[in-house]
Structure 1
């Protein structure tokens, strides 16, 4: 099985059950850091697995560098029923892979999936405003900030900071 593309970049592929031991440490690190995701830092592995490994039509992927999971993303309809034409998702990158382009690969894959699936747009509901790397990445892909909920996230260093709602129109 191919683990890297022709340029040597990690390959993005559909997640499988046997990937969970590589996904869980990434989720655990990101959530307990309390810097970029508004998830309960006390979340256990069982709840994380249930939250992350969504059934189709949602999609879960991993970024593979050899046999190592370096990132993961989950993507789905933002809301059911009348809101189901707008996609959403979450992306997490392993500490050692941050700044290496894995996040860009995951985000680009998510945008491609949303386009192929016929979504009208992508909405990220809670981008922490001090997560400058993520904001720059999303903006480089065409996302705009629709608004910010001031003080909606308790950052361990910066204090209460805003959560951005970011939008990419796919029409």
Structure 2
């Protein structure tokens, strides 16, 4: 990337680009607990569900990643954020996930979330685990053999958490 990566809210016209990112990740079945045979419409509906704030990471007009930010729970748990991130396979290793992660943390703090929690990080996704740790997340729990990986079999899932420097109360 030559210029800084732009992370912006997704627009209706981004659906095809977002699907081009979601589809290979979902079909691989290695990192998300989504049906590998999910349809385009059902997977886009999941990602763009009401309550989800969806963003895209853009470099020179090309969408390289997408993220989703939401409250982890409703009611008494709505002050803790949750997020999901996917990078286009061709953009792996280019800092896209780090940029989206930083953006999500900053956005959540500005919106008054007091923490961010990931409920299910597949432990074999070592790049993601290392990234989240480098961004201040810590492993709170390990769920033994909670994920059925298509080639590794049963692997652990992690619950990861970090507090946020809140800009506004929630």
Relative to the length of structure 1, the TM-score reads 0.92
Cα distance in 1 between the residues matched to 2:12 and 2:118: 26
Cα distance in 2 between the residues matched to 1:116 and 1:109: 10
The question of whether the paired residues in 1 share the 8 Å contact of 2:3 and 2:59 is answered with: no
User: Secondary structure of 1:110's partner?
Assistant: helix
Let me know the Cα RMSD of the aligned residues.
1.3
Cα distance in 1 between the residues matched to 2:59 and 2:163: 31
Cα distance in 1 between the residues matched to 2:49 and 2:33: 18
Partner residue in 2 for 1:138:
132
Partner residue in 2 for 1:29:
24
Unaligned runs of 5+ in 2: 166-170
User: Which of 52, 59, 64 is the aligned partner of 1:65?
Assistant: 59
Say if 2:118 is the partner of 1:94.
Answer: no
Cα offset for 1:50? 1.1
The question of whether the paired residues in 2 share the 8 Å contact of 1:79 and 1:86 is answered with: yes
Relative to the length of structure 2, the TM-score reads 0.93
The question of whether the paired residues in 2 share the 8 Å contact of 1:54 and 1:74 is answered with: no
- Deviation above 6 Å: which 4+ runs of structure 1? none
Deviations for 1:110-147, whole angstroms, at most 9, x for unmatched residues? 00011101111100011000111101110011000000
Say if 2:3 is the partner of 1:13.
Answer: no
